[in-house]
């Protein structure tokens, strides 16, 4: 009886941990996400749940009308945010720094920094917000030493030509919630695969920005179009292929936990 109770005691925490990983590898559709409208703005929730390394992963888009601001400056002390402009022009202010971002422009907002966004154009502006809370907790000092918050427009990225298209390394550095956080953009020529099916310990997000493709996840193939968010969990075999007639493009986002 003691052995049975001991086995149950060991299994219960494992089950509880497994239940917290609510997000499965797959393609999450932006086009089919329900739109919520309030105060002249629109929000689409695409991803909301947890993973092996994240207590919370939330991905949504917000569309601001001309002149609108998302909210007054606010800071999150236990959450980091990655913002990527989808359409239009967005003025991003983090602390005392501001920059106008166009489609493909990106901002990393480390925990503890105040942020606010404003649509300064005459047309609607839409942007992704990738908000995440790590199971490793927050290290504000590491975030500061790693370079702090980051704002860069698309035309400021370095472009590296490859035999398959182009690569734009954006940053690869420590942040306030990750010991290493890696973001780059890839442009893939028609008919090419980014790589052979492979696995890695780090979890990954692929954010489609143009063209069409096919994502292999384990033995299943999924179509992907602009706006889609592709989540690949730790150690899951995957590969991406451009199945369209034109170059496709996407952001690849990886984070590395203390458990690696």
Who's near 251: CB < 8 A, 6+ residues apart?
84, 106, 170, 183, 184, 185, 186, 205, 206, 207, 209
* Dist CA 99 CA 76 (whole Å): 20
State pTM to two decimals: 0.90
Q: Among 2.60.120.10, 3.20.20.70, 3.40.50.300, 2.40.170.20, name the CATH number for the domain at 26-256.
A: 2.60.120.10
CA atoms within 13 A on the CB side of 52: 18
Query: Which of the 8 DSSP states describes residue 40?
Result: T
pLDDT the model gives residue 10 = 40
User: Which stretches of the chain score pLDDT less than 70?
Assistant: 1-20
pLDDT digits (tens, 9 = 90+) for 183-233: 999 999 999 999 999 999 999 999 999 999 999 999 999 999 999 999 999
pLDDT the model gives residue 260 = 83
pLDDT the model gives residue 5 = 41
Extents of the domains making up the chain: 26-256
pLDDT the model gives residue 20 = 56
Angle at 78 between CA 74 and CA 84, to 5 degrees: 60
């Amino acid at each position: 009886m003691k052995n049975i109770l001991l086995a149950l005691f060991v299994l219960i925490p494992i089950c509880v941990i497994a239940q917290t990983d609510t997000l499965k590898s797959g393609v999450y559709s932006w086009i089919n996400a329900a739109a919520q409208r309030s105060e002249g703005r629109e929000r689409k929730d695409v991803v909301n749940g947890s993973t092996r390394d994240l207590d919370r992963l939330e991905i949504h888009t917000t569309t601001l009308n001309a002149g609108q601001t998302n909210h007054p400056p606010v800071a999150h002390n236990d959450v980091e945010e990655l913002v990527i402009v989808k359409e239009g022009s967005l003025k991003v202010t983090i602390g005392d720094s501001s920059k106008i971002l166009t489609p493909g422009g990106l901002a990393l907002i480390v925990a503890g920094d105040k942020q606010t966004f404003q649509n300064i154009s005459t047309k609607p502006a839409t942007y992704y917000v990738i908000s995440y809370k790590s199971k490793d907790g927050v290290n504000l000092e590491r975030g500061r030493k790693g370079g702090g918050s980051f704002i860069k427009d698309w035309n400021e990225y370095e472009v590296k030509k490859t035999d398959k298209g182009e690569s734009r390394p954006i940053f690869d550095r420590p942040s306030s919630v990750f010991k290493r956080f890696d973001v780059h953009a890839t442009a893939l020529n028609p008919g090419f695969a980014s790589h052979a099916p492979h696995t890695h310990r780090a979890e990954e997000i692929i954010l489609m920005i143009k063209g069409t493709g096919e994502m292999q996840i384990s033995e299943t193939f999924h179509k992907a179009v602009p706006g889609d968010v592709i989540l690949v969990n730790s150690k899951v075999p995957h590969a991406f292929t451009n199945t369209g007639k034109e170059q496709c493009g996407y952001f690849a986002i990886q984070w590395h936990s203390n458990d690696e």
